[in-house]
């Protein structure tokens, strides 16, 4: 597509455009806070104070102590910091239990540091981690887990996960809990997440800049750093902080939290969910064999994960919709291709063939209802044209 402005963007779970408030905050900070927050002079102190102000604001939004927050380069680094900390701080034979549907940055970091000292918590066909399985296995396990890991909302399906229930189980048993809240933060109220021991988030998923995020982690007790070479962030993450990035991230999150009116359920997300449901009903009514993944579960208001009619591979759908002016995403490559099908869908019990026909549509706060309607028309148009293409 030569002109990106002609593309209607339905891939907000991958990344979202910069919100004007974040852009302004970034520009202001770049001009006003030129110092290094660690420098001893007043120019440095002003940058440090700006960072402290942002830390206070994010702490208020999450419900934690400002000192519990570490700025990172994004959720991948945050997950690596949390899992590296577990590996370094827990006993050598410590075991981690984590859900089978985590983002690769969590799954692969866990595999890297824990090798075979991992247990995958299964998910149901509806895309929710199986809390009953967890409860039963915690009761009967010969060795209880030394840490538990569960995401807040799944990036592929949008299905919300029972993090509050897992937090309660962890509290009862004094098990440290890490929650990757990357897709939740900025789409649903963040309140309560701050009670979890370790929580990750990423600015570019909610209108902040790319390359900045956070890890909420205990300020008491030493968090074992992944990056060495400086005293920043209470020695939890070395390197000069990205002051404009952090200020822009917090500005974007404040906009989202205001839209969410601080409670759940909230009108803003109700309206968005209804528009999304209309799109799903159109697909189901018009395309034989379409299945909405996680349809029976509570889901993010912006995400549709759909198994498409199997006449075409998802990457070809993506190309055809791109030509029609719509940016969408596929969770996996063709089942017949070289890449593995989505580990999330296979963990939910879908066959490799079914997992290989999934498309993900994810809207943003600023997506108007007309765009969902136009997307539905485009999908039906591509479907109608498909038999001719295959001749």
Q: Which residues bind ligand PLP (CB under 6 A)?
A: 74-76, 103, 105, 151, 155, 180, 182-183, 202, 213
**Shortest distance (Å) from residue 158 CB to ligand PLP:** 11
Structure tokens at 221: 């007790």
H-run or E-run covering 177? strand 177-180
Give the pairing type, strands 303-307 and 291-292. Answer: antiparallel
Q: Between 124 and 182, name the residue whose CB sits nearer to ligand PLP.
A: 182
Q: Which residue shows structure tokens 């577990």?
A: 86
Q: Between 156 and 233, name the residue whose CB sits nearer to ligand PLP.
A: 156
Residues 6+ away with beta carbon under 8 Å from 239: 227, 229, 230, 232
Q: Between 15 and 24, name the residue whose CB sits nearer to ligand PLP.
A: 15
Residues 6+ away with beta carbon under 8 Å from 256: 186, 187, 206, 207, 365
> What DSSP assignment string belongs to 153-175?
B-TTT-BB--HHHHHHHHHHHT-
What are the catalytic residues?
334
**Which candidate, 91, 51, 324, 384, places its Cα nearest to that of 212?**
51
Q: Report the residue closest to ligand PLP, judged by CB.
A: 74
Q: Between 77 and 371, name the residue whose CB sits nearer to ligand PLP.
A: 77
Q: Between 223 and 249, name the residue whose CB sits nearer to ligand PLP.
A: 249
**Which candidate, 380, 391, 381, 390, places its Cα nearest to that of 311?**
390
**Shortest distance (Å) from residue 72 CB to ligand PLP:** 8
Instruction: Report the DSSP beta bridge partners of residue 299.
Output: 159
* Strand order, beta sheet including 358-362: 291-292, 303-307, 358-362
**Shortest distance (Å) from residue 340 CB to ligand PLP:** 17
CA neighbours closer than 13 Å in the CB half-sphere of residue 198:
24
Alpha helices in 260-368 (DSSP H): 267-286, 314-323, 343-347, 352-355
**Shortest distance (Å) from residue 44 CB to ligand PLP:** 27
Distance CA(186)–CA(277), nearest Å, equals 21
> What DSSP assignment string belongs to 183-199?
TTBTTB--TTGGGSSEE
Q: Between 129 and 382, name the residue whose CB sits nearer to ligand PLP.
A: 129
State phi, psi for 102 to the nearest 5 degrees: -65, 160
Q: Between 77 and 146, name the residue whose CB sits nearer to ligand PLP.
A: 77
**Shortest distance (Å) from residue 151 CB to ligand PLP:** 5
Residue 199: exposure state from Cβ atoms within 10 A (0-12, 13-18, ≥19): buried
**Shortest distance (Å) from residue 215 CB to ligand PLP:** 11
**Shortest distance (Å) from residue 76 CB to ligand PLP:** 3
Asked if residue 253 lies in contact with residue 208, where contact means CB atoms within 8 angstroms, the answer is yes
**Shortest distance (Å) from residue 42 CB to ligand PLP:** 33
Q: Between 183 and 363, name the residue whose CB sits nearer to ligand PLP.
A: 183
């Amino acid at each position: 597509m030569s002109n990106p402005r002609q593309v209607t963007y339905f891939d907000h779970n991958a990344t979202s455009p910069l919100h004007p408030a974040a852009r302004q905050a970034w520009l202001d900070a770049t001009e006003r806070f030129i110092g290094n927050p660690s420098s001893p002079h007043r120019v440095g102190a002003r940058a440090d104070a700006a960072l402290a102000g942002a830390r206070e604001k994010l702490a208020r939004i999450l419900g934690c102590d400002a000192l519990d927050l570490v700025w990172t380069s994004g959720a991948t680094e945050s997950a690596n910091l949390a899992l590296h900390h577990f590996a370094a701080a827990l006993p050598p034979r410590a075991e981690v239990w984590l859900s089978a549907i985590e983002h690769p940055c969590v799954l692969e970091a866990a595999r890297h540091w824990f090798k075979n000292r991992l247990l995958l918590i299964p998910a149901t066909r509806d895309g929710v981690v199986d809390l009953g399985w967890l409860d039963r296995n915690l009761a009967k396990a010969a060795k209880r887990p030394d840490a538990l890991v569960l995401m807040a909302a799944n990036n592929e399906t949008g299905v919300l996960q029972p993090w509050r229930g897992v937090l309660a189980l962890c509290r009862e048993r004094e098990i440290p809990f890490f929650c990757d809240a990357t897709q939740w933060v900025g789409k649903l109220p963040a309140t309560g997440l701050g009670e979890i021991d370790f929580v990750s988030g990423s600015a570019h998923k909610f209108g902040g800049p790319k390359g900045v995020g956070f890890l909420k982690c205990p300020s008491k007790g030493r968090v074992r750093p992944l990056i060495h070479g400086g005293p920043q962030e209470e020695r939890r993450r070395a390197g000069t902080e990205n002051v404009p990035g952090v200020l822009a991230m917090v500005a974007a999150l404040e906009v989202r939290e205001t839209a969410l009116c601080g409670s759940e359920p909230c009108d803003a997300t109700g309206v968005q969910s209804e528009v999304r449901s209309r799109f799903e009903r159109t697909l189901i009514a018009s395309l034989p064999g379409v299945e909405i993944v996680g349809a029976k579960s509570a889901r993010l208001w912006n995400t549709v994960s759909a198994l498409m009619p199997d006449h075409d591979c998802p990457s070809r759908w993506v190309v055809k919709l791109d030509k029609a002016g719509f940016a969408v995403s596929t969770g996996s490559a063709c089942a017949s291709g070289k890449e593995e099908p989505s580990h999330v869908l296979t963990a939910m019990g879908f066959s490799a063939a079914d997992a290989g026909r999934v498309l993900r549509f994810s809207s943003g706060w600023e997506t108007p209802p007309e765009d969902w309607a136009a997307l539905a028309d485009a999908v039906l148009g591509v479907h109608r044209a498909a038999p001719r293409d295959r001749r």
